[in-house]
Amino acid sequence: MKTIKWNFVLGIGVFLVFLSSPVVAQTQYANARSIGVAGAYGAVARGFESISWSPANLGLSDKPGKSFHFLNFGLGAQNNSFSIGDYKKYNGKYLTESDKNNILNSIPDDGIGAFGNFGSNIFACSIKNYAFAISAGAASNMHLAKEFIELAFYGNSLDKVYDLSETRGEAYGFTRFSFSYGMPMDVDLFQEFAIGGTFHYVRGIGYAEVLKSNSHFITTLDGIELASEMEFRTALGGNGFAFDFGCAAQLDNNIAFSWTIDNLGAIRWTNEVKLYRYGTSADSLTAEKIANTDADSLFNDYDEEIAGKDFSTSLPAKMRFGSSYKTRAYIFSADYIQGFSPNPGVSTMPQLALGVEYMGFHILPLRAGFAFGGDERFLSALGFGLKFGSFSFNLATLAHQSLLPGFGTGLGLAFDLKIGTR
């Protein structure tokens, strides 16, 4: 019985860690200007920003001679089921049958998903066609089986099998050292054309993954039958490399394009790799047996911790096609993003981001954007900046499943201080 208690505590602890983790390993979240246009920034980024968005932009003539940042930080968190309004509505309330049905109907069949984002450029600079950055990020995702909520609401029904095997999750943190270069080329079709690439050395800080989650139980006239197996893998250090490459073009003075494939690489986890295995089973459990029998004799359980083998995890690779149209007062932008795997921080479902920046106030640029698709399904963004010569301060918010921050299923926030970017 002691093992079962620890299994329960561990399971809840892992879930809370995942739920509260800042979740996409995307250092783009550290760029408030890009967040203000919902990520429609591939063809707009210049200077050191090109490292995270389109290294080929370093080869275009409108790049700054040099740029660097003082401070930036961005984070976000979301889930796939409940909005902040839902929390305010149901928190502390006696739940009616209608309330319970509404809550369960809000949860997808594959369970409650929790996601988030964190990124920070510790240092970044660009000089002419070259750029360098030291950044940090974290990513995770977690799904908890829908049946957990159903059990909490209604208890266990007779002869119904409860399958709790949809629980899964993955999380990691890293630091990254990035070197980028953009080179102009002559292509008759465009006013300007450039190719570029980025080399990343990635230092893995920590990793955790649910490898196996098989749990079910049923209540019969003879009692409760249950069986559960869980396996986790963790590591506390690794090394890896990644590459980005792409091209950028100016069709004329107003229209620009960019195309990039990034994060082609992996991290090899080699330090303190551990496997944790937990399991329990029982047959014909009744209240009488539990009250009158030694608990250890009612359950067949085990737990073990063993050294694991080195392993590799792919980074969240994706393709981005960006475009922008610039006038004296506006920049209109659009990006199409396609992930190549369901890793934390990327989605195989395509996403379209649309953004606009108004620069008519000169020192006070205003930004807004929307994104459709991806794991987030719908995002809206608002942002502004304070610009004094080459120095700028930027702040942005991002709302999930809502037009305004604070009303959807998640929220993002980013700010930065930088010099030299347009």
Total domain count, the chain: 1
Q: Is residue 262 part of a domain?
A: yes
Q: Is residue 99 part of a domain?
A: yes
Residue 157 has pLDDT above 80, yes or no: no
Highest mean pLDDT among 55-59, 280-284, 305-309, 391-395: 55-59
Q: Is residue 226 part of a domain?
A: no
Q: 121 vs 290, which has greater pLDDT?
A: 121
> 3-class DSSP state for residue 299?
coil
CA distance 42 to 257: 8
Residue range(s) defining the domain that contains residue 128: 2-144+177-200+241-267+318-419
What residues form DSSP beta bridges with 82? none
Q: Which two tokens stand for residue 50?
A: 């090109």
Q: Is residue 391 part of a domain?
A: yes
CA distance 40 to 356: 9
pLDDT at position 334, please? 98
Q: Is residue 156 part of a domain?
A: no
**376: buried, middle or exposed (CB in 10 Å: 19+, 13-18, 0-12)?**
buried
Highest mean pLDDT among 44-48, 65-69, 389-393: 44-48
Q: Which two tokens stand for residue 65?
A: 């001679």
pLDDT at position 238, please? 95
Candidates 22, 31, 40, 15; CA nearest to 357 is 40
Band the pLDDT of 51: cuts 50, 70, 90: very high
Q: Is residue 122 part of a domain?
A: yes
- Relative to beta strand 161-163, strand 112-127 is unpaired
- Residues near 105 by Cβ (< 8 Å), separated by ≥ 6? none
Q: Where are the beta strands (DSSP E) in 109-191?
A: 112-127, 130-144, 161-163, 168-185
Band the pLDDT of 301: cuts 50, 70, 90: confident
Q: Are 250 and 256 a contacting pair, CB within 8 Å?
A: yes
DSSP letter at 252 equals S
Cα torsion 337, 338, 340, 341: sign: positive
Residue 236 has pLDDT above 90, yes or no: yes
CA distance 136 to 123: 10
pLDDT at position 422, please? 64
Q: Is residue 289 part of a domain?
A: no
CA distance 100 to 325: 48
The position carrying tokens 């979740």 is 23
